[in-house]
Amino acid sequence: MADDGHRNTGAGNVPAPTEADAGSTYAEDLERWALYDCSGLRAPLADEDMQDLFHRCRVARSKSVTATRTVTMQSLDAAWTSFVRRWNVEGPVAFIRGLERREVQHRARSVSALAKQIHDASYDNDRDCCFVHYVRECAECRGYNRPRPDEAAWKRLLTANPLTVTEEGLIARYQEEQRRRRAAVRQQQRQESDWQQHDSWQRGQAEQQQQRWDRLLRLEHEMTALRDELTGTPRDPPQHLGRRSRADDWGAGWDQRRWG
């Protein structure tokens, strides 16, 4: 078709998108920050601390913190930009609280996944129950009505059917994740206690400040009322009005005595 000298238009006489426009998206119109660029953060911690928080966020979502075959630098830049925006919206306190909760949940999922792998490995090796059932209780073993062994029974099971290298590796990872999970829970509890004490202190300070302002207002009202009493027109006439002074009384008496 011949070129009529005009750009193609779409509906409503709006210019149709070109190939250059096709790659433009709404997200690209928003401000972006390159990975570890802290210039857009509001009230940030030290750069190293912000990078550590970003890594923790990625790990809590089971995502890589470095570029890989499937994770590009562009995607890491986008993840950092999202991190910056969320930090600015939530603020440091709420952001760190939420991150700690997600970390605890992530470790719980990791522990559950490892427990399932340990059970499956024990089942494949024809063992009556798994290590998880021995130390705490395995939902899978309980579903098969397997009794929990005591220490002596567990040693007999291992003597008859020793752990494989794969099982030993899974158990080591499971124990490490359990240790980290307990540490994370304790840390979260301490942090929550600290936040609660801080919030309580702030509320106490606010209440004391409000009490001071209330007291100041009462004093100002009292001072205003006292000033009105001193400088304004009294409601009742003064007692000295209509009375003669002592000098007047003495002078009148002298005149009476003088003229008899």
Q: Which residue has the tokens 């003669």?
A: 244
Per-residue model confidence (pLDDT) at position 215: 86
Q: Which of 28-37, 38-47, 125-134 has the lowest mean pLDDT?
A: 28-37
Burial (CB count <10 Å: 0-12, 13-18, 19+), residue 3: exposed
Residue 197 or residue 66, greater confidence: 66
Q: What's the distance, Cα to Cα, between the start and end of the chain in Å?
A: 142
DSSP β-bridge partners for residue 9: 15
Q: How far apart are CA 217 and CA 238, in angstroms?
A: 31
**Residue 189: is its pLDDT beyond 80?**
no
Q: What angle do CA 199, 201, 202 make, to 5 degrees?
A: 65
Nearest to 129 by CA among 116, 155, 147: 147
- SS3 string, 64-94, reads CCCCCCCCCHHHHHHHHHHHHHHHHHHHHHH
56-61: Cβ within 8 A, 24+ apart? 56/99, 56/103, 57/83, 57/99, 57/102, 59/103, 59/106, 60/99, 60/102, 60/103, 60/105, 60/106, 61/102, 61/106
Mean pLDDT, the chain, whole residue set: 79
For the stretch 72-84, pLDDT in tens is 999 999 999 999 9
For residues 144 and 138, what is the distance between their CA atoms, to the nearest angstrom? 10
Closest by Cα among 110, 116, 112, 115 to 60: 110
pLDDT in tens, 81-137: 999 999 999 999 999 989 988 888 888 788 888 999 999 999 999 999 999 999 988
What six digits make up the tokens of 51? 């990078």
